[in-house]
């Protein structure tokens, strides 16, 4: 009773499933179809090869059809595209892309792991030899070829998501002046606007021309010299052609560029599934059960192409990331062998390197919570990645979202040059475990001066959140302090030299926290004192003094640092 398993797509989810299926059964027949030339390649590594961090292209190729056959006895067929599914017969039709022939294979179980494709909007002139997406090794090779042959001095990247940011950095790293266009008012959508400010500041400090709130509206391709002749039979499309692009932007400006990368997002590859009548979800991905089955119990689907359920809301979501794809692939194979594994939902944990900065998030952000109508409160802390007296400490800027009544963790975001992955991982685990901010106070994390602090960022954020929940502090947030009434007074409790050096909020008076007890009578009792310091800690000390002395007050959570970077 050996099973025959067909797998469509040989990268993250498909390769995981094939390897797992073989470990579960020696006698299953496993065939993996890949329409491209490569299986199991490091798609997340492509921008880093372009930027030179990964000098050796062969390091991106993790498995070959031969190595996969030797280790897992899987029949890997590259350049073979599954073009249709006959569900009644339980067979697929496959097209050999080398010779154009077609054939059919039967299955007991079919796994769809077709991934996602780049969204390329219908912008006039976008189809030209200097415009690229980056999804696979041939895309990468074409970009490298353009850089090599077109003497690229200026690159334009459209889209401030992961691939866009990584390509921006890659270009910058190899000495190409770069413009990053983003339609939204921020890059890195998983974090909220004010946390993206840290990324904006870093990007601009590196000399990249970052343009937010701007779309690409038209492209004019101006060829200069043709390196390949038409006579040789090559088409103009993706040839090695010199030239430049004149880009028209939505604000009426224009831009001359030598290469254009379109990285505005990806779209699930669902054609094969929908042609076969499999259910497609409302978000446009292949609908799946918690067992990773499609609407046909013999057909599983995993990875970028599917809708899975969101860990926080329980609703359907699409999260095209490698981690979920790998886990889903393994799980689908388990379930083909009656293992009854269930997918536990996606939090959307994500991280991006932006030059020296890491920006990361897990769970829901504020934008999403508002959209979902979920009540939330939030705190910001900025605190050292490890003991500040030990070399190499960097500020971790951290935002935590939670339910104000229960303290349930809703999401977390962080930006900084050290320890960002660690803090978001801690939050991802805590959220998945159903912990509350009260419990986060008690976390006992590794501490020695090179690695952490006796009171870690997370403990600190939990203390602030619990202070909020218990009414020990009345918060005010960064977006409210520019609109104070005449019943409020803005009080900066930092030292005067800090105001000079890093700036201050217009209209603030200054009494350093350590002088406040002596000078408290300078403050009016009939106004609300809006206290702030650099990060919120001294502000809290001052706030408690004021409250315990009968003043009305509130404290700017996250202090001047949150306020300032929110505008970046």
The interface with a copy of itself within residues 525-564 (CB under 8 A) comprises 538, 540-541, 544-545, 548-549
Residue selected from 422, 477, 494, 564 as contacting a copy of itself according to rule CB under 8 A: 422
CA-based nearest residue to 119, from 72, 183, 25: 183
CB of 236 to a copy of itself, least distance (A): 34
Contact status: 425 vs a copy of itself (CB under 8 A): yes
Token pair, residue 441, equals 């106070």
Question: Segment near a copy of itself (CB under 8 A), from 85-93, 235-243, 253-261, 420-428?
Answer: 420-428
- The span from the CA of 463 to the CA of 405, in Å, is 15
CA-based nearest residue to 466, from 381, 565, 364, 542: 381
Contact status: 11 vs a copy of itself (CB under 8 A): no
Residue selected from 27, 231, 282, 338 as contacting a copy of itself according to rule CB under 8 A: 27
| Residues written for the chain | 568
Inter-residue contact 361 to 191 (CB < 8 Å):
yes
- The span from the CA of 339 to the CA of 334, in Å, is 5
Nearer to a copy of itself by C-beta: 250 or 441?
441
Residues numbered 127 to 166 that lie near a copy of itself (CB under 8 A) are: 162
CB of 351 to a copy of itself, least distance (A): 4
Q: How many positions of this chain bind a copy of itself (CB under 8 A)?
A: 92
H helices, E strands: number in the chain? 16, 31
44 carries an active-site annotation: no
Residues numbered 225 to 284 that lie near a copy of itself (CB under 8 A) are: none
Residue selected from 4, 432, 474, 552 as contacting a copy of itself according to rule CB under 8 A: 432
Q: What is the dihedral of CA 339, 17, 268, 34, to 10 degrees?
A: -150
CA-only gyration radius of the chain, Å: 27
**Beta pairing partners, 266:** 118
Contact status: 465 vs a copy of itself (CB under 8 A): no
Nearer to a copy of itself by C-beta: 114 or 512?
512
Task: Print the binding letters for residues 43-72 with a copy of itself: x by CB under 8 A, - otherwise.
Answer: -xx--x----xx----xx-x----x--xxx
**Beta pairing partners, 510:** 492
C-alpha angle 286-291-293 in degrees, rounded to nearest 5: 40
Neighbour-count burial of 198, counting CB atoms closer than 10 A to its CB (0-12 exposed, 13-18 middle, 19+ buried): buried
Nearer to a copy of itself by C-beta: 387 or 499?
387
Residues numbered 479 to 518 that lie near a copy of itself (CB under 8 A) are: 513-515, 517
- The span from the CA of 258 to the CA of 156, in Å, is 8
Tokens 């059964």 appear where?
Answer: 25
Nearer to a copy of itself by C-beta: 36 or 324?
324
Q: DSSP for 481-536? A: GGG--TTEEEEE-S-HHHHHHH---TT-EE--GGGHHHHGGGS-SSSEEEEE-SSS
Inter-residue contact 85 to 114 (CB < 8 Å):
no
Among the listed residues 352, 466, 533, 554, the single catalytic one is 533
Residues numbered 321 to 380 that lie near a copy of itself (CB under 8 A) are: 321-327, 330, 343-344, 346-353, 358, 360, 362
Q: 77's torsion region: left (phi>0), alpha (psi -120 to 50) or beta?
A: beta
- The span from the CA of 102 to the CA of 340, in Å, is 35
Residue selected from 203, 426, 481, 533 as contacting a copy of itself according to rule CB under 8 A: 426
Q: DSSP for 205-247? A: HTT-EEEET--EEEEEEEEEEESS-GGGT--STT--EEEEEEE
DSSP for residue 59: G
Residues numbered 296 to 315 that lie near a copy of itself (CB under 8 A) are: 311
Nearer to a copy of itself by C-beta: 78 or 387?
387
**Beta pairing partners, 223:** 243
CB of 68 to a copy of itself, least distance (A): 10
Nearer to a copy of itself by C-beta: 198 or 221?
198
Nearer to a copy of itself by C-beta: 93 or 313?
313
Token pair, residue 174, equals 């190899």
CB of 238 to a copy of itself, least distance (A): 26
Residue selected from 3, 4, 24, 480 as contacting a copy of itself according to rule CB under 8 A: 24
Nearer to a copy of itself by C-beta: 323 or 496?
323
Residue selected from 229, 433, 483, 500 as contacting a copy of itself according to rule CB under 8 A: 433
Residues numbered 439 to 458 that lie near a copy of itself (CB under 8 A) are: 439, 441-452, 454-456
CB of 307 to a copy of itself, least distance (A): 16
DSSP for residue 164: H
Nearer to a copy of itself by C-beta: 278 or 426?
426
CA-based nearest residue to 424, from 358, 379, 344: 358
Question: Segment near a copy of itself (CB under 8 A), from 39-47, 126-134, 212-220, 224-232?
Answer: 39-47
CB of 311 to a copy of itself, least distance (A): 8
Catalytically active residues, by annotation: 533
């Amino acid at each position: 009773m050996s099973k025959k398993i067909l797998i469509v797509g040989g990268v993250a989810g498909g390769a995981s499933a094939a390897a797992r299926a073989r470990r579960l059964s020696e006698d299953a027949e496993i065939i993996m179809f890949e329409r491209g030339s490569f299986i199991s390649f490091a798609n997340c590594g492509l921008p880093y090869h372009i930027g030179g961090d990964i000098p050796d292209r062969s390091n991106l190729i993790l498995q070959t059809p031969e190595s996969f056959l030797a280790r897992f006895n899987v029949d890997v067929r590259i350049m073979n595209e599954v073009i249709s599914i006959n569900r009644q017969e339980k067979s697929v039709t496959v097209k050999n892309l080398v010779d154009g022939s077609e054939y059919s294979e039967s299955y007991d179980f079919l796994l769809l792991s077709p991934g996602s494709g780049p969204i390329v909007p219908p912008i006039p002139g976008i189809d030209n030899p200097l415009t690229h997406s980056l999804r696979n090794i041939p895309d990468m090779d074409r970009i490298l070829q353009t850089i090599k042959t077109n003497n690229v001095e200026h690159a334009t990247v459209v889209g401030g998501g992961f691939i866009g940011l990584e390509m921006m950095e890659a270009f910058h790293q190899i000495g190409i002046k770069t413009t990053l266009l983003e339609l939204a008012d921020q890059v890195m959508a998983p974090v909220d606007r004010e946390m993206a400010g840290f990324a904006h500041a870093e990007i601009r400090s590196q000399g990249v021309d970052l343009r937010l709130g701007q779309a690409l509206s038209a492209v004019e391709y101006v060829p200069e010299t043709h390196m390949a002749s038409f006579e040789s039979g090559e088409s103009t499309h993706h040839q090695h052609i010199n030239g430049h692009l004149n880009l028209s932007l939505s604000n009426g400006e224009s831009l001359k560029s030598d290469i254009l990368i379109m990285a505005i997002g990806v779209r699930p590859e669902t054609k094969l599934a929908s042609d076969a009548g499999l259910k497609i979800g409302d978000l446009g991905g292949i609908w799946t059960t918690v067992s990773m089955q499609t609407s046909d119990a013999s057909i599983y689907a995993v990875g970028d192409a599917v809708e899975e359920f969101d860990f926080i809301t329980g609703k359907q979501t699409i999260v095209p990331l490698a981690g979920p794809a790998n886990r889903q692939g393994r799980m689908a194979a388990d379930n083909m062998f009656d293992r009854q594994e269930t997918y536990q939902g996606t939090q959307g944990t994500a991280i991006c390197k932006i030059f020296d900065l890491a920006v990361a998030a897990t769970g829901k952000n504020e934008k999403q919570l508002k959209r979902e109508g979920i009540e939330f409160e939030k705190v910001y802390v900025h605190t050292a990645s490890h003991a500040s007296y030990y070399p190499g400490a960097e500020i971790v800027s951290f935002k935590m979202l939670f339910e104000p009544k229960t303290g349930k963790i809703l999401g977390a975001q962080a930006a900084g040059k050290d320890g960002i992955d660690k803090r978001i991982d801690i939050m991802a685990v805590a959220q998945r475990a159903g912990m509350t901010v009260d419990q986060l106070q008690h976390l006992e994390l590794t501490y020695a001066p090179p690695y952490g602090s006796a009171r870690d960022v997370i403990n600190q954020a939990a203390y602030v959140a619990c202070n909020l929940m218990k009414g020990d502090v009345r918060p005010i947030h960064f977006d409210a302090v520019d609109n104070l009434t005449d019943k409020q007074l803005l009080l900066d409790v930092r030292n005067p030299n800090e105001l000079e050096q890093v700036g201050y909020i217009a209209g603030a008076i200054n009494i350093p926290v350590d002088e406040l007890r002596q000078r408290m009578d300078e403050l009016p009792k009939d106004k609300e004192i809006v206290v702030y310091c650099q990060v919120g800690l001294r502000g809290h000390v001052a706030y408690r003094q004021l409250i315990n002395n009968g003043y009305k007050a509130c404290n700017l959570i996250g202090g001047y640092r949150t306020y300032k970077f929110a505008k970046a």
